[in-house]
Amino acid sequence: MWSPTEYTERLLNPLTDVIVGMERVGVPFDMDAASDLLRVVKRDEALSQEALLDWTSAVDYLGAEVPPNWGSWQQLQYFLYTPMGLNLPPALYWKKGRTGWVERDDGEYIEEWTDEGEFKTDDVALSWLGKRHPQYADCLGAIQDLRWQQRVRTYLETWLGLAVRHAGPHGQAWHWLHPSFGLASDRDERAGARTGRFAVKNPALQQVPVRGDNYGLRRLFRAPPGSEWVVLDYSQLEVVILAHICNKLFGTDDLVKRCRPGQPDMHSLTAKYVFGDILGDARLKAMDVGDIKKQASTERDLVKAVRYGLNYGKGARGFGDTLFDTKGEALGEEKAQTVIDALLDFDPEIRQYQAWSRERVVEWRGAVSLLGRFSPLPDATSWKKGERNRAYRQFLNYAMQAGGQEVTALGMIAAAPLMAAINAPQILQVHDENCFLAEAGQGGEAKKVALEAMLNCVELAAPLGASGGVGPSWGEAKH
DNA sequence: TAGAACGGCGCG
DNA sequence: AAAGCGCGCCGTTCTA
């Protein structure tokens, strides 16, 4: 733990210098490719609109001349459930309204909820409806497509509107985006998150689509001719932090061992254990868990999702609603609890850490980070159970998220002078990922230098891991 | 008519 | 659903 003075001098002040450097250099952006892509997206968007127009006329929008505005969830909801007459989705897709507080027999106050309310129209709900009503699957799919296309168009228009042209660190004229890091530039003066993570705004480059992106948006963030994009990611940084914390608290090293280099992939190992050894044979059969899949993903992805959800306090109720079997039905609380128990049996340290956190959050009414920052959580002693539970979940998360941010910050600080020496400045940070711009042919060397700095910036009980890549753009630099 | 509230969704 | 945490941002609808 560091003193406030140490924290300021060794982390906050030098981090500010790195941030100022990133703001000055900017993020290279391929405007020509973006303009071309914008035309493509607009065309796709028009096709989706056209397909939907057929649907609206086919079902006769209850006599109204005007088709729904697909950007309005209220109008969409009306369209789906009244003119189209789709069956009601299960309870988990309802938006419920709070009616008040009730005192239970044991004196505990809990919130009371009503089933009356509006239907959700988010992506999960639309997918559910599409499965339940195959004859409307195309229509619902077109709505989902249109939403994505509209979103992508908005991204592109925003970036195109913000890009400026000037010479980069290696001398070439190119287009650049200059987001604000940390302290925001608009009316919101918050300096990033309470956990210490900082924000990247105008544009929000920490949210550039990557999962399921069919347009290749990250390829638009392209190094100028004569430069190369270098990216490095910490591997499961928050798990490493958790392993370190457990080692310090309980003297155990089960998680630590699993982070060591040369160990089998953590999530695959866990999946094999949870679905094979633990949920094998009798228990597996009894709960029909052999069919468990999270949409089309693998058991590894499911176990990974459960591990991260658990780390942040997600419970059987939540997992029961967000994990699905192969039939597309929600797993349910009971089966989800079985999966959770299996993972906790595999990693007893997590159970220990959760019990410890339950006590500490009440005692401290706050949480402490790896290097000693304190985050107040006064709700830990609220008379409302929901607020107490939330404070507990925030406590769980704070240790890992704040710790991860501190490690990343120290890595950036350690890398900065070394990268300056080889003319490869940092241009972006996305929580556990650092991007640099190297001179052509120097990407490999730059990657080595940055990796070394990132891995050795702090001494933890569990070893840090990272991997990286070099390429002409952000999208193509991935390993 | 500007701002707040809300749903929805992008990322780690 | 303050039943997984942390953010920013967009469009629609509500409200002062």
Give me the pLDDT at residue A15, please: 95
Low-confidence ranges of chain A (pLDDT < 50): 281-297
Residues 300-359 of A with CB under 7 A from strand C: 305, 308-309, 312-315, 317-319, 322
Give me the pLDDT at residue A283, please: 46
Please check whether strand C approaches the CB of A164 to within 7 Å: no
Give me the pLDDT at residue A92, please: 65
- Distance, CA of A142 to CA of A127 (rounded, Å): 11
Closest CA to the C1' of B7: that residue is: A73
Please check whether strand B approaches the CB of A368 to within 7 Å: no
> What H or E segment, with its residue span, contains residue A14?
helix A13-25
For residue A14, which amino acid is it? P
Q: Strands (DSSP E) along A235-342, which ranges? A: none
Place of tokens 């006599």: A63
Tell me if A429 sits within 8 A of A233, measured CB to CB.
no
- Distance, CA of A249 to CA of A257 (rounded, Å): 16
Please check whether strand C approaches the CB of A294 to within 7 Å: no
- Distance, CA of A466 to CA of A459 (rounded, Å): 15
What's A473's DSSP letter? B
CB-based burial label for A37 (10 Å; 0-12, 13-18, 19+): buried
Please check whether strand B approaches the CB of A73 to within 7 Å: yes
Query: Nearest nt to A238, CA vs C1'?
Result: B12
- Distance, CA of A49 to CA of A79 (rounded, Å): 15
Tell me if A177 sits within 8 A of A161, measured CB to CB.
no
Closest CA to the C1' of C7: that residue is: A193
Residues 404-433 of A with CB under 7 A from strand C: 431
Closest C-alpha among A273, A343, A279 to residue A311: A343
For residue A63, which amino acid is it? G
Query: Nearest nt to A389, CA vs C1'?
Result: C2
Query: Nearest nt to A431, CA vs C1'?
Result: B12
- Distance, CA of A306 to CA of A336 (rounded, Å): 9
Give me the pLDDT at residue A123, please: 92
Give me the pLDDT at residue A288, please: 43
What's A325's DSSP letter? B
Please check whether strand B approaches the CB of A431 to within 7 Å: yes
Give me the pLDDT at residue A286, please: 42
**A255 CB-side CA count, 13 A:** 32
- Distance, CA of A5 to CA of A362 (rounded, Å): 27
pTM above 0.85, yes or no: yes
As beta bridge partners, residue A222 has A473
Give me the pLDDT at residue A281, please: 45
